[in-house]
Chains A and B, each alone.
Chain A
Amino acid sequence: MPTEPFVKKYLRQRVLPTIWCGGCGLGTVMRVIVEALDDLKIDQNNLVVVSGIGCSSRMAGYLDANTVHTTHGRALPVATGIKLAHPELEVVVIMGDGDGTAIGGNHLIHASRRNINLNVFLLNNGNYGMTSGQVSPMTPHEWHASTCPFGNLEHAFHLCDMVKSAGATYIARTTTFHYMQAVRLAKEVLEHKGFAFLEIYFQCPTYFGRFNEMTDAPAMLQWLKKNAVRYDPEKPRELEKGQFYVGKLWEDNTKDEYTDLYCKLCGRAQEMMQVAD
């Protein structure tokens, strides 16, 4: 693929190459995000990218914006502080599945509940890649990882359903196989006012693939392609084992956004003060 100008524009070329393994899907994900940012002409000076810890979270370092690489699982509460302090900033949160659903799971449901205007990309490779392939809350039941060599006894979250019931107002899922869809959904996330959540399945051939009989990136992309089912709210269907929906899953524009509500609250409080004076 030729390098488009936008890729150069949004990346800190002095810190490249990335640390990611050959065949890893994170490069594709980064390109998706960058293309969406460029399409929407988002001002880099006004853009803040907050991440946690793990392979995906290293993306914050590569993106040319105001970037904060926090601690494991804590991207969302740090981003909440940034957004509330300066609501005019565009805040993107990037986290992995371990980051967002294990150690940071509590923060995920509470940030969703508040419906604060954050653009959340949860990059799901089904395991802890950085530490070489341990089981995560998103590893499928009976699949393998370095810490479940005899098969995973636990079940993965229905993550998008969970975030929906927690109160997020835009929810979508895509994969690195579905590039064009991913860019479209990423743009919807950035444009949505409220807590917007995009789960992106991406391949980790080095660990997840190797532990689960998919030894290279093409095999994993085939697997993502085979099991992805386009979501059509008009025609819901039973999913077979291993299948998952991709596309926009939920949008609710009736719920007020948190920083807007807070701003109004300040107005009320100040009025009450004036009356009291």
Chain B
Amino acid sequence: MSDRSERYEVLLSGSGGQGIILAGVIVAEAGIAHDLKVVQTASYGPESRGGASHSEVILSGTDIDYPAVTKPDFVIALTQEAADKFAHLARPRGNVLLDTTWVEKLPQNIQANMASFPLTEEASNRFGKPLVANIIALGYFAEHNPLLGADELLQAIIRRVPSHYRELNEHAFAYGRELADQA
């Protein structure tokens, strides 16, 4: 685990309907359960309808005075547009996770560790629900962030998703963690 007093910034991006905001809320709630300070913001209004959507989460052991992502430690991009716009922002030695179902052209010259999987396709094929791509991404995130463990994230997911989808989300999350092991 890294120094908890340092800010850790997560930027989740994609398009409306991919569960970007929900994923951000889950990360933030996991942070609260872990006694971290959190800030979560999201694009909203006309910009969040149909088009590009993004959600920012800042986690820190101390008060967060500046409530916006400056240099994200972890970028998740589920669309080409999101990848083009946000992947290069990631801090060197940070992480970038891309969904190659939608990201055909991988961004170049990224200094962070970049991983790419067909998240939506896998979500669709394995679980019959393309919507759980965000949860698969969180499974991957669980294995690659220094602050939040898999248990904390899973508990936060369970609190947020409808109970009849609980099992589905647990499987999707577990699969995301497997992908992390493969990478």
Q: Are A and B in contact, CB atoms below 8 Å, in the complex?
A: no
Residues of A within 8 A of B (CB): none
Which residues of B does A touch, CB under 8 Å? none
